[in-house]
């Protein structure tokens, strides 16, 4: 079987971006996929993802999401803890 691409959000058979996605399915804690169907060529498949930690966001008193930036992290060297 020959395909045209292996790019997320693109149908591998016809290169269309006109895909309908189902709900995210978890295979394991770190491996998941979205079932999809192409609205142009009607091919169906699964789009797989490996999850990895990328950082925290904090929620402040007003409900705003705050992304933790490098300059917000205190120095945790043992020399400065006296």
Residue owning tokens 């996605």: 21
Task: State if pTM tops 0.85.
Answer: no
Calpha distance 33→45 (Å, rounded): 10
Q: 16 and 10 in contact (C-beta within 8 Å)?
A: yes
How high is the pLDDT of residue 45?
A: 97
Calpha distance 39→16 (Å, rounded): 8
How high is the pLDDT of residue 80?
A: 47
User: Cα–chain-centroid distance for residue 49?
Assistant: 7
pLDDT in tens, 17-66: 999 999 999 999 899 999 999 999 999 999 999 999 888 899 999 999 99
């Amino acid at each position: 079987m020959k395909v045209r691409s292996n790019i997320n959000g693109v149908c591998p058979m016809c290169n269309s971006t006109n895909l309908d996605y189902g709900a995210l399915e978890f295979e394991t804690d770190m491996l998941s996929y979205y079932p999809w169907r192409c609205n142009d060529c009607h091919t169906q498949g699964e789009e797989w993802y490996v999850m990895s930690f990328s950082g925290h966001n904090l929620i402040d008193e007003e409900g705003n999401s705050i992304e933790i930036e490098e300059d917000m992290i205190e120095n945790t060297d043992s020399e400065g803890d006296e």
